[in-house]
Structure 1
């Protein structure tokens, strides 16, 4: 079912019923990157998969990551009822979700941050500056190989050519101006001083082969949050819900069904 939020400025797909669960997609992907996990999740939750601002049918918003986070907070507020929604963000969607929770305390019940962090290293910042410059000069086509490498390890790409064609097409549908604005925002981001403001349990996930947001970023993120647990997914890269959907669901489902107020035990473990 196609629905809209935030005064019609955010478009989304919704399925299932129950506790609302929003899925925020990556910069290098789109909402279809969750297609392999939405049906299983919808057996228990009302799963809502929005197009982030500037993607798909959602309106662009000016003002950097803070403005994007505020727009998504408007969408989440539209779901407020007897239960606060839960949010799962992957990559860029994770940074948006984290910024949203920092800026809007009490908005969500639980938070899953998959393959993101609080701050990039200088080489990571430079990578975003380079991608922004290349896209401006040559277009997104010139970043095709880079984008796919940041999503999946080379051996996985070689073994899954059909999926690679699908993911490349999704990346090339991205508005170049939105892509550059997001790169600039991520290149200057540092949320580490604000992590103590996060007032909900958080599950931090990361693929052990993630080159875009390496595991060290997730480790730093989990260590800086008041109530977090960290899970490393072996063999996975930046979009584990596409690469290993069953393993991803096995990691997130117990956290999602936890009782309200249950404190996440700080720990690190791998899902085989």
Structure 2
């Protein structure tokens, strides 16, 4: 059997964020992780491990990367290879937490529909701010996620740990991917992760922002294919 792959989406994202890669890896068993039902990264990671195959390749984008790093911390033997896309190993800053609390209040005040439009410019490369097709995908994923799950996700992100001290223990093939124009988790954060994971590889996706899997699917899929074929 081909190596199973577990994809963990980002904040307010679902399987659509990985649609090009799911098609490209259709010959592999695939699990799209559920990251909507719990209010802490630790609980989300535990639920994914419970649902997942015994051994699997792990791909996490943004919030999915935070969860993937927790999985590597608590169950490294389950993961055959790791890819972290457009993510950050650091804990939330006070400014980030303040912004998240503002968005949680919007969701609680029944203004959730505004949130994906507020977030969209930070999700994409500067050149794609007027890309209505991409915006429609972001809005669709957000509406599928819904306000209650969004609040749980933001609560989990506020309380996440600093993963940097644990990255040196990762010894499986690891790939760090970042869009060159990622404004939400800029390239220097991925460079930091790459420097901390022994023998990891770093791929910079040209012309992409935070949603590299959708903005530049051919480039992103190509580097993921090479990673899947690495020993």
Which residue pairs with 2:4 in the alignment?
Answer: 20
Report the counterpart of residue 52 of structure 1 in structure 2.
Answer: 34
SS in structure 1 opposite 2:153?
helix
Match of 1:185 in 2: 156
Unaligned runs of 5+ in 1: 1-16, 55-59, 260-272
Number of residue pairs aligned between Structure 1 and Structure 2? 229
Q: 240, 244, 262: which is aligned to 2:212?
A: 240
Name segments (4+ residues, structure 1) moved above 4 Å.
none
1:53 and 1:127 map into 2 onto residues whose CA distance is 21
Task: List per-residue Cα deviations over 1:163-214 (Å, max 9, x = no partner).
Answer: 3223212212223222122212222322122223323221010111112222
Q: Does 1:61 align with 2:33?
A: no
Structure 1 segment 160-171 matched on structure 2, within 5 A: 160-171=131-142
Deviation at 1:233, TM superposition (A): 1.1
Indicate how the Cα distance of structure 1 residues 145 and 242 shifts in structure 2: closer, same or farther if over 3 A, else same. same
2:100 aligned with 1:136 = no
Q: In the TM superposition, what whole-angstrom CA distance separates every residue of 1:57-101 from its partner, at most 9, and x where no partner exists?
A: xxx235x1101001111122xx22xxx310111111111111111
What is the aligned partner in structure 2 of residue 211 from structure 1? 183
- Residue 202 (structure 1) aligns with: 174
Q: Contact 1:101 / 1:198 at 8 angstroms: preserved in 2?
A: yes
Tell me by how many angstroms 1:47 deviates: 4.2
Corresponding position of 1:266 = none
- 1:87/1:188 Cα in 2 relative to 1: closer, same or farther (>3 Å)? same
Deviation at 1:138, TM superposition (A): 4.3
Please say if residues 125 and 188 of structure 1, whose CA atoms lie closer than 8 Å, have aligned partners that are also in contact: no
Q: Which has the higher helix share?
A: 2
What is the TM-score with the length of structure 1 in the denominator? 0.77
- Structure scoring higher RCO (CA < 8 A, sep ≥ 6) equals 2
Residues 198 and 225 of structure 1 are in contact (CA less than 8 Å); yes or no, is this contact kept in structure 2?
yes
Which residue in 1 is equivalent to 2:57?
86
Q: Please list every run of 5 or more consecutive structure 2 residues that lacks an aligned counterpart in the other structure.
A: none
Higher-Rg structure is: 1
RMSD over aligned Cα atoms: 2.0
- For residues 53 and 121 of structure 1, the distance between their equivalents in structure 2, rounded to whole angstroms, comes to 22
Does the 8 Å CA contact 1:236/1:244 hold for their aligned counterparts? Answer: yes
Q: C-alpha deviations, 1:229-261, integer Å up to 9, x for none?
A: 2211121011111111111112111111112xx
Q: Work out whether residues 128 and 187 of structure 1, in 8 Å CA contact, stay in contact via their aligned partners in 2.
A: yes
**Could you say if the C-alpha distance between residues 33 and 24 of structure 1 is closer, same or farther in structure 2, counting changes exceeding 3 Å?**
same
Question: Structure 2 matches for 1:97-176, cutoff 5 A?
Answer: 97-119=68-90, 120-158=92-130, 160-176=131-147
Q: Is the 8 A contact 1:38 1:47 kept in 2?
A: no
CA contact (8 A) 1:28 1:147 kept: no
